[in-house]
Amino acid sequence: MEVKNKQQGIKVVADVLDIVGGKWRGQILAHLCDNPKRFNELKTVLSRITSSTLTKELRYLEDIKMVERKIIQETPMIVEYRLTKHGMSIKDLIKTIVEWGLKHRAIVFKKD
Amino acid sequence: MEVKNKQQGIKVVADVLDIVGGKWRGQILAHLCDNPKRFNELKTVLSRITSSTLTKELRYLEDIKMVERKIIQETPMIVEYRLTKHGMSIKDLIKTIVEWGLKHRAIVFKKD
DNA sequence: AATACAGGTAGTTTTTAAGATACTTACTTT
DNA sequence: AAAGTAAGTATCTTAAAAACTACCTGTATT
């Protein structure tokens, strides 16, 4: 797929980064790439996130249909978050980000 | 290249998004993918950015060695910004972002 | 009976990013 | 001589993102 309209193409960068950017969204999506996770599992792997922030981010990702919330069991309550079918499409992008990051960290993440 | 350490891999997502994320960095890098641009060219294509923000973002991108500032001519002053050799490596990532965005915009950017 | 876990919500405060406004130096054009 | 261009800098303010603290319902554990 070629980029037809360059201006349009470049604006879309900002839109995508709105979804995947910020402090937590990319990481949440990355964790959900592997397999579905429960609220507290996410909270544990994202060790510094607070409940309220995690809730907000998950609700946003639900709103844009990237993630779905599934109540697995009512009592005791088990809730699972997973990528939607559509959300799965982000996997390759996340993979590209991770690969670039691992390859270039030595140069670029050096805060001297 | 396979991701060896998953935890490490996922943290790197946040580091990369720090470089490419925010309101302007991704767009600046995207514009510089095509060819070098002068300060005011960038200011024009990023139509809503202010001088001070553009300067800040460019200095940051210089600091991390993604972009270099080159004085082409002292008088009258001509300054050009271009991707460093290392910065060029971001092109594929930007391309992946643009392609994902163009393909999925209909579903995901719909704010109803 | 008390404590802890699961999955949150509500309200406030702090931090960070971005924007607004004004000004600068050195040159060039009218 | 005045105005305009190029490439910025310096402050200050605003807005948005994230954090902090406390609390809630229902179940399970000690």
For A30-77, the pLDDT digits (tens) are 999 999 999 999 999 999 999 999 999 999 999 999 999 999 999 899
- Say which CATH topology domain A6-108 has: Arc Repressor Mutant, subunit A (1.10.10)
Q: Indicate the SS3 state at residue B92.
A: helix
| 3-state secondary structure labels for all residues of A53-100 | HHHHHHHHHHHCCCEEEEEEECCCCEEEEEECCCHHHHHHHHHHHHHH
Which residues of chain B are within 8 Å of residue A14 when distances are taken between CB atoms?
23, 26-27
Q: Which residues contact B40 (CB under 8 A, 6 or more apart)?
A: none
DSSP state of B85: T
The residue of B5, B29, B66, B98 whose CB has the most chain A CBs within 10 angstroms, and thus the best one to mutate to test that interface, is B98
For B32-74, the pLDDT digits (tens) are 999 999 999 999 999 999 999 999 999 999 999 999 999 999 9
* Whole-number pLDDT of residue A83: 98
Mean pLDDT of chain A: 92
Residues in B 60-89 with any Cβ partner in A closer than 8 A: 64-66, 86, 89
Say how far A22 CA is from C17 C1', in Å.
Answer: 11
Residue ranges of domains in chain B: 6-108
For A91-112, the pLDDT digits (tens) are 999 999 999 999 999 988 855 4
Please classify residue B31 by burial: count the beta carbons closer than 10 Å to its beta carbon, then call 0-12 exposed, 13-18 middle and 19+ buried.
Answer: buried
Residue B84 has pLDDT above 60, yes or no: yes
For A19-41, the pLDDT digits (tens) are 999 999 999 999 999 999 999 99
Strands B37-38 and A78-83: unpaired
* Six token digits for residue B79: 């300054």
